[in-house]
Structure 1
């Protein structure tokens, strides 16, 4: 008689509920209390309406379902798009496999080279500003090899590919972000445009590193605000967080109603990733470590150097900078990977508990303790690789900028690439520094695919929507979908034989049965979806609302 119900994208409701009008109303009320974001409130209104339909006009149907053996299982109540990075929605894979997909580096890379007056460039932040219809980039500049002067450069672009450095200081003829009063040293700018901010002077928000004494022990995490992204006023109570010396990655978390940032742990300076949060971008919580080294990092003596992250489709996506085999000694010819940096994908459903992503998707902490060929796993876990050794412009180091950007039907990953190793001077490298771009199809992180035929069956779920939208590439093959009832029996109208095959590539296929896409008969009861793949790739699915009332 009882069914465990999951709300949203992964939070388990606090207890088991009898499918009845009273308890469902209680569950809805609890869910409303826990939501602070308007968009999620609207989606929960839909949940309320449909669940009350289940216990009102369809109450007899609901009561009948409680006698089904399938109702003893958890029922997922889904909101929005569902990815396949972890197995949250997956009950069974047969004849198909999960595959981690790497973004494709842009053919015009590098898209911005360091200027002759810039000794080196590294960490950066890219945003799209709809007010000016411009992409905007802030990047860290070193002016000499001793790191005695650190500044933040500023660049703009109409398309995110061709960039220019506007003169921000006419007297000096430079393109630097201007801090008032002047900061002796600025590093690792992490910038957001805050669309919720009522004060125009704080529309742009930055977290950055400051070094007021120009000595390493004075490194601190600070905040600044701007109306135009060029002229910045420091927060009077700086520093707002303790020590960090790499990229600080802030964003607004609508689910929490708070700002969240990822930075390095410390003090002391330990290469690990920490998380902080704030209600006002000024008063930040203590650091909590969210990633730690594991078996995956042992084969290449890997350190977790820095991390950028973003909310995406109800979950959280991150790129962790992986620094392999740090050394200032001579590197053997058979270990060209030493003293180089690339990036791996990480994944979370709450922004605190993060999972490493391998060649076949997210891995749990328990799985990380298993006996495996961890060298092969590490090789296959690379998401954004450095270039070919001493051949390409980014062969030595990759530093992802913050945050990844969703642009139309693609996800953009901007990064700094360096043609030299981390301790370049000791290895007699002569590095150049530039900004590059890599792109991934929308939702394309992990696909479910087959070169032959197979199926993906979901866990039991409550379908909240009237249309099933699928992101898939079935060129040269086909995908069909069928719906199963609570006992695992095919729902006749939504059978595989009635489904119009998907045979092309699109991020928004609309699934139809007997030439009809209306899924309203599936609403308000536990179902499973079974995807039949034939030489195809499936990236995501979404219960959407598209039909007229």
Structure 2
């Protein structure tokens, strides 16, 4: 009776579209892989449904400065790896160490290491590898920052299993490094890229493309940051970036050039974004739970007004900073940000000052990226909290059951500002597959997929109807005709919040007789969020 009542409600809403004509397209072979609704790739038709981004929940600080080499703060960059159930984190920190040339203590950046068994409580093992303030009792792996992103290479021999891109502020240029365990015996390539590429540049082995893929910082001729991408067959040989050309941006004669159009620009601001704003870092993740899903969580940087509101930086200061600060006199004065009373308090300097939050980009191949959701994925905290100024997402994520853990650095200071609270590493909790969902209206909504070919014997959904919503599923042939055993009226109504819900029709869930044949799925939902489906 319940099944009949719910179906009648949905039937009344969609009676006019039960017979839809389709343009037959080549079936998509989904096999038994999970399919996320990050875009309309698998959707042929929909009514009263929209794709909605779902921000994660902030769960609080998990790592903060507690040692001398962390006395200035932890972050901004880092990464996490699930290494066979041991969660491993590499993160940057800074403290003060004696500088004999200055005859004073000076800031010193390092790369540190932490481990966890639950992703919440993190330990900082003393590694006795690097010295800090004359002491080897620390968790320092590398004695500099901008270590890139450590990744585990499944194709490499044991002594090269862990790799990273190195960009050291002290040496300016970029090269590769490898280690047997990500901690000890780091070796560096004997070649280097003479490019100025500040920020957390990254690489990983993409099994889908069977290549190493790289995401680096780029710049436009208008001095706005972008994300560029290129590939390589061999991580340890010189990476295939062409030499600078006539259109390459060079911020100053004494500095290395910046990547402008020498690699494919894959993420950048556009005419829909406020001016001037840009993307600070890549933070790309190939989603481990689905083969054709890539996410990027770049920090979007809005630049605050130039002098006279801020302090003009001179050319000598620019050279001393290795060009990480743009030459402000070359930047058009276009912005639409009002003055803020907090600017003076936070030591705001010209256009390279501003605040950053974290955004979401999606892709099916890691090359073509979409920014369908322009709102923040991780928003700035409320004034007075840890993360009110600038946020940077760590690379990687940890999947624990129906939850995903992500991590970011929360700063109270804006870029180029003075920190009011020490930065810390903060835990985010996301639902499994929960980044984007297909949301049906309260009055009811419908999705019909493109033709798909599956393998398996059951259909499983990640879905949340909550208490008042509901959902039913039908399986159709490529022309839209329902298979009698799997028609919508026979579907057992789904109501509740499920990470892995088996769909059944009159208490039977076996769909194996349709495996290997082109079919369509029809979802009728009311007030529900559909995150993913898969056949098992």
TM normalised by structure 1 equals: 0.73
Residues 144 and 295 of structure 1, relative CA distance in 2, 3 Å threshold: farther
Deviation at 1:267? Answer: 10
Moved more, 302-311 or 260-269: 260-269
Deviation at 1:511? Answer: 0.8
Counterpart-to-counterpart distance in 2, 1:540 and 1:147: 51
Contact 1:483–1:527, Cα closer than 8 Å, also in 2: yes
Which residue pairs with 1:156 in the alignment? 115
Which residue pairs with 1:99 in the alignment? 52
Contact 1:81–1:541, Cα closer than 8 Å, also in 2: yes
1:306 aligned to 2:278? no
Which residue pairs with 2:244 in the alignment? none
Deviation at 1:513? Answer: 1.2
Which residue pairs with 1:58 in the alignment? none
Identify which of 336, 339, 344 aligns with 1:332.
Answer: 339
Deviation at 1:123? Answer: 0.7
1:399 aligned to 2:392? yes
Moved more, 329-338 or 168-177: 329-338
Which residue pairs with 1:292 in the alignment? 268
Counterpart-to-counterpart distance in 2, 1:409 and 1:208: 34
Residues 262 and 139 of structure 1, relative CA distance in 2, 3 Å threshold: same
Counterpart-to-counterpart distance in 2, 1:527 and 1:129: 38
Identify which of 88, 108, 115 aligns with 1:136.
Answer: 88
Deviation at 1:510? Answer: 1.0
Gaps of 5+ in 2: 1-20, 98-104, 242-262, 311-337
Counterpart-to-counterpart distance in 1, 2:156 and 2:80: 19
Counterpart-to-counterpart distance in 2, 1:230 and 1:460: 48
Counting only pairs closer than 5 Å after superposition, residues 358-369 of structure 1 correspond to structure 2 as: 358=373
Contact 1:71–1:486, Cα closer than 8 Å, also in 2: no
Which residue pairs with 1:194 in the alignment? 153
Deviation at 1:334? Answer: 8.1
Deviation at 1:84? Answer: 1.3
Residues 222 and 270 of structure 1, relative CA distance in 2, 3 Å threshold: farther
Deviation at 1:495? Answer: 0.7
Residues 124 and 414 of structure 1, relative CA distance in 2, 3 Å threshold: same
Which residue pairs with 1:83 in the alignment? 36
Which residue pairs with 2:402 in the alignment? 409
Identify which of 79, 94, 98 aligns with 1:125.
Answer: 79
Residues 335 and 464 of structure 1, relative CA distance in 2, 3 Å threshold: farther
* Secondary structure at the counterpart of residue 272 of structure 2: helix
Contact 1:249–1:403, Cα closer than 8 Å, also in 2: no
How many aligned positions are there? 437
Counterpart-to-counterpart distance in 1, 2:451 and 2:401: 31
Residues 267 and 174 of structure 1, relative CA distance in 2, 3 Å threshold: farther
Deviation at 1:399? Answer: 0.5
Identify which of 190, 193, 198 aligns with 1:237.
Answer: 190
Contact 2:225–2:268, Cα closer than 8 Å, also in 1: no
Deviation at 1:507? Answer: 1.4
Counterpart-to-counterpart distance in 2, 1:282 and 1:147: 34
Which residue pairs with 2:444 in the alignment? 453
Moved more, 523-532 or 245-254: 523-532
C-alpha distance after superposition, 1:367-426 (max 9, x if no partner): xxxxxxxxxxx4xx211112112x21111111001123333322221111111111214x
Counterpart-to-counterpart distance in 2, 1:165 and 1:463: 45
Contact 2:112–2:141, Cα closer than 8 Å, also in 1: no
Counterpart-to-counterpart distance in 1, 2:106 and 2:235: 28
Residues 263 and 404 of structure 1, relative CA distance in 2, 3 Å threshold: farther
* Secondary structure at the counterpart of residue 169 of structure 1: coil
Which residue pairs with 2:430 in the alignment? 440
Counterpart-to-counterpart distance in 2, 1:266 and 1:332: 26
Residues 320 and 191 of structure 1, relative CA distance in 2, 3 Å threshold: same
Counterpart-to-counterpart distance in 2, 1:71 and 1:397: 48
C-alpha distance after superposition, 1:458-492 (max 9, x if no partner): 12223333221111012313211011222222221
TM normalised by structure 2 equals: 0.75
Moved more, 467-476 or 232-241: 232-241
Identify which of 333, 347, 359 aligns with 1:344.
Answer: 359
Which residue pairs with 1:366 in the alignment? none
Which residue pairs with 1:500 in the alignment? 492
Counterpart-to-counterpart distance in 1, 2:42 and 2:395: 29
* Secondary structure at the counterpart of residue 323 of structure 1: strand
For the aligned residue pairs, the C-alpha RMSD in angstroms reads 2.8
Counterpart-to-counterpart distance in 1, 2:534 and 2:106: 49
Counting only pairs closer than 5 Å after superposition, residues 149-548 of structure 1 correspond to structure 2 as: 149-169=108-128, 172-178=135-141, 185-199=144-158, 201-211=159-169, 214=170, 218-239=171-192, 242-265=195-218, 271-283=225-237, 284-286=239-241, 287-298=263-274, 301-312=276-287, 313=290, 314-327=292-305, 329=309, 332-333=339-340, 339-358=354-373, 378=374, 381-389=375-383, 391-425=384-418, 429-449=419-439, 450-476=441-467, 477-544=469-536
